[in-house]
Chain A
């Protein structure tokens, strides 16, 4: 019974999803009232992101990308305009409803990984399921967390604590955590900011692989190299969209890694 209804839901979703954007921003604005001066961080952004897209949001500091990111992530509400996430008008929700949206619809990946220390990778990944409104049995939580870790290639290290893992591995745990509630959207904020170039490419490889499986990803970055792994680049300036175009000559993580290794080999031989 459950299997049948799930299949039906999937079918409906497939149809629904093909015609509707995951994210629909309509003239969205954010103004901070600090003292006498109003700061217009975001000044009317209209943007649609469809299922299966891999979008980089770029811009220098002060361009409004962090503010936009917070609003897309349902951490903050716009002061003007509307934002639909998966058909839900997020701009009208209260605090608790926003928390539920974050829990069910969005997976976060942060620059600083933001894992709980002295807590195993598996338990870190289980954490979002503890806050799921549909109660998930602890046995199922374990299974799903393990599957999620295997998806990012960390299955054997499930019982390691963050301080026993490298930066790249920690970020993979964070990605596994972001995916565990099967969100509509993976939101990454400078996910490679704390990583060396090889690890950065590896993480981008993980994202590309997930995107190939149909997961929608939005990534905020200020590094062009990193943005070139995505499919679409949105560049902001002064709270508005400057350019929005498809990525030409897209980088592929596997090839980039190979090239990097060859370069290292060459350097080694030369010295």
Chain B
């Protein structure tokens, strides 16, 4: 018995009862459609968050100095004077480290043009834009030479530029930080708000050496930004940094923290994975319900068509032929239902994306899962009725009224 012939018989049988076939498929349609729609929406949301995370920079590891406590007052991460420029130099020599920037943070009132603005002043190395995946909109980054000579050079963020130089290009102009004149060598491209709602463009960046000697008088850095070669070595580099600093600081207690973007990413993906499990659960339940519907209708169909089964057996259909015929019918039902469900789910998510201006992504893997599971449901739910049909005695089936 050829598959094409079976498909023909199946499609005829399904067309004979259009309404019934449609209602039977509805279980699978709704199940698959809901899953695809929900997956598309959550994947879109996840992708949005992931984009924001990668916006922080690629393969970035941050070393914070520890918590500093004086008289019961705890200063929080980055307050302990434990990380030094020597630590930075040592980390730079580790394998798989491609860029590094010691970070010194301070808030200061900056003046220019007769205007003033309170902003964050960061001391960084020239690697900083590369680490943060941040473009220079005009001008350039200060150089290693500037770091060595404690140059009074600054790169400013878009917000600062807008606030202090509303109508002109600030490159080449002077900005006063703590009354010291710094020459603006570059303006950073707009980066927008970060994951935590901070305006990343509200910043002035100067060489860390200048920051440590001219603006503040510090001997330690708040944190160290490290860029690893690729995402596969992040954990390795993290471990190496930890080992290195523990040895250097000769302390039993870890007086620093090493965090990577990977961890943030993992938190995000853990959330989406939990969502995925939830969806898979919903999918399983709705598909099982759809499958029961198909099994029910197939059982009715076998009873209704007992005589037809008898005729087919009388003219030479083997039990296997009958089994395959009914199985194909059940699979056709669930496969068509699955296809309509996928189309509906994708359509629904596109509609939401259009109306609510939300990004939606339909992962191919979920479409594959939907197709496979609806086919499997068809086979499972069709098997019992088909087996029942194939076991009919031709004589009884022929006499069935």
Residues of A participating in the B interface, judged by any CB pair closer than 8 Å: 70, 73, 75-76, 95-96, 99-100, 102-104, 108, 110, 114-116, 118-119, 127-128, 130-132, 135, 138, 177, 181
Which B residue sits closest to A100, measured CB to CB?
B316
Given contacts A75-B395, A114-B398, A130-B2, contact A99 B12 (CB under 8 A): no
Q: Which of B31-39, B267-275, B317-325 contacts A (4 or more CB under 8 A)?
A: B317-325
Interface string of B92-128 (1 = CB under 8 A from A): 0000000000000000000000000000000000000
A95 and B312 CA atoms in complex are apart in Å by: 14
Check A99–B308 contact: CB distance below 8 A: no
Q: In the complex, what's the smallest C-beta–C-beta distance from A186 to chain B, in angstroms?
A: 13
Partner of B316, one of A76, A115, A132: A132
What's the Cα separation between A68 and B313 when bound, in Å?
Answer: 18
11 more A-B residue pairs beyond the given contacts A102-B313, A103-B317, A181-B316, with a C-beta to C-beta distance below 8 A: A73-B314, A96-B320, A99-B316, A99-B317, A108-B314, A108-B315, A114-B307, A127-B312, A128-B315, A130-B1, A132-B316
Q: Within 8 Å CB of B308, what residues of A?
A: 116
User: Within residues 308 to 366 of chain B, which ones have a CB less than 8 A from any CB in chain A?
Assistant: 308, 310-321
B residues in contact with A108, CB < 8 Å: 314-315
Q: A116-B308, A130-B5 are in contact. Are A110 and B398 (CB under 8 A)?
A: yes
- Asked if B66 is at the interface of the complex by the 8 Å CB criterion, the answer is no
Cα-based distance from A95 to B398 in the complex (angstroms): 16
Evaluate contact between A131 and B318: CB separation under 8 angstroms: yes
* B12 with A119: CB separation less than 8 A: yes
A145 to chain B, nearest CB (A): 13
**Which residues of B are found within 8 Å of A127, using beta-carbon distances?**
311-312, 315
B123 to chain A, nearest CB (A): 81
Measured CB to CB, the closest approach of chain A to B204, in angstroms, equals 80
Q: How far is the CB of A64 from chain B (nearest CB, A)?
A: 14
B252, CB-defined interface residue at 8 Å: no
Known A75-B394, A118-B16; judge A131-B312 contact (CB<8 A). Answer: yes
Report the nearest A residue to B9, measured CB to CB.
A130
Q: Is the CB of B313 within 8 A of A99?
A: yes
Q: Is the CB of B316 within 8 A of A103?
A: yes
Inter-subunit contact B312/A100 (CB<8 Å): no
**B313: chain A residues within 8 A (beta carbon):** 99, 102
Complex CA–CA separation, A142 to B250 (angstroms): 91
**CB within 8 A of A104: which of B12, B316, B398?**
B316
Q: What is the chain B residue whose CB lies nearest that of A135?
A: B2
Chain B interface, number of residues (Cβ within 8 angstroms): 23
Tell whether, in the assembled complex, residue A96 and residue B318 are in contact, meaning their CB atoms are under 8 Å apart: yes
Are A131's CB and B319's CB within 8 A? no
Q: Are B318 and A100 in contact (CB under 8 A)?
A: yes
Question: What residues of A have a CB within 8 angstroms of the CB of B395 in the complex?
Answer: 70, 75-76
Inter-chain contacts of A181 with B (CB < 8 A): 315-316
**7 A–B contacts from the bound complex (CB under 8 Å):** A100-B316, A102-B313, A103-B316, A116-B311, A127-B311, A130-B1, A131-B316
Rounded to whole Å, the gap between the CB of B307 and the closest CB of chain A is 7
Interface residue SS majority, chain B: helix
Bound form: Cα–Cα A73–B311 in Å? 13
Given the known inter-chain contacts A75-B395, A119-B12, A131-B321, please indicate yes or no for A102 contacting B314, CB distance below 8 A.
Answer: yes
Q: Return the contact of A131 from the options B1, B12, B16, B398 (Cβ within 8 A).
A: B1
Top 6 A-B residue pairs of the complex, sorted by shortest distance between their CB atoms: A103-B316, A128-B315, A131-B316, A99-B318, A102-B316, A131-B317
**B313 CB to nearest chain A CB (Å):** 7
Query: Nearest chain A CB to B144's CB is how many angstroms away?
Result: 79
User: Per-residue CB proximity of B1-27 to A under 8 Å, as 1/0?
Assistant: 110110000001000100000000000
Tell me how far the C-beta of B309 lies from the nearest C-beta in chain A, rounded to whole angstroms. 11
Residues on the B chain within 8 Å of A75, using CB = 314, 394-395, 398
Contact partner of A95 (CB less than 8 A), chosen from B12, B16, B310, B319, is: B319
B314 / chain A contacts, CB cutoff of 8 Å: 73, 75, 102, 108, 114
Most interface-central of A108, A127, A128, A131 (chain B CB within 10 A):
A131
Q: Which chain A residue lies CB-closest to B311?
A: A114
B315 contacts A131, C-beta separation under 8 Å: yes
- Least CB distance from B10 to A in Å reads 13
Closest to A101 in B: B316
B310 — nearest CB in chain A belongs to which residue? A114
Looking at B12, B312, B321, B394, which has the most chain A CB atoms within 10 Å of its CB? B394
**Cβ contacts under 8 Å, A132 to chain B:** 316
Q: CA–CA, A128 to B318, complex, Å?
A: 11
Q: How far is the CA of A177 from the CA of B315 in the complex (A)?
A: 9
CA distance A22 to B313 in the complex (A): 22
User: In the complex the two chains form, is A128's CB within 8 Å of B316's CB?
Assistant: yes
- List the A side residues contacting B12 at CB < 8 Å: 118-119
CB distance from B70 to the nearest CB of A (A): 91
Centre residue among B4, B314, B317, B395 by max chain A CB count within 10 A: B314
- Interfacial residues of chain B within 385-401, with CB under 8 A of chain A in the complex: 394-395, 398
Chain B 265-309, CB-CB to A under 8 Å as 1, else 0, gives 000000000000000000000000000000000000000000110
Q: How far is the CA of A118 from the CA of B398 in the complex (A)?
A: 18
Cα distance A130–B310 in the bound complex, in angstroms: 15
The listed residue with most A CB atoms (<10 A of its CB), out of B307, B308, B315, B398, is B315
> A114–B398 Cα gap in the complex (Å)?
8
Of all chain B residues, which has the CB nearest A118? B16
Alpha-carbon separation in the docked complex, A128 to B314 (Å): 9
Contacts of B307 in A (CB 8 A): 114
Once the chains are docked, how many angstroms separate the CA of A116 from the CA of B314?
A: 13
**Which residues of A sit under 8 angstroms from B321, Cβ to Cβ?**
131
Within the assembled complex, what's the spacing in Å between the Cα atoms of A119 and B44? Answer: 49
Whole-angstrom distance between the Cβ of A178 and the nearest chain B Cβ: 8
Chain B residues within 8 Å of A130, by CB: 1-2, 5
Interfacial chain B residues near A95, Cβ < 8 Å: 318-319
- Is the pair A103, B319 in contact by a Cβ cutoff of 8 Å? no
A96–B319 touching, CB < 8 Å: yes
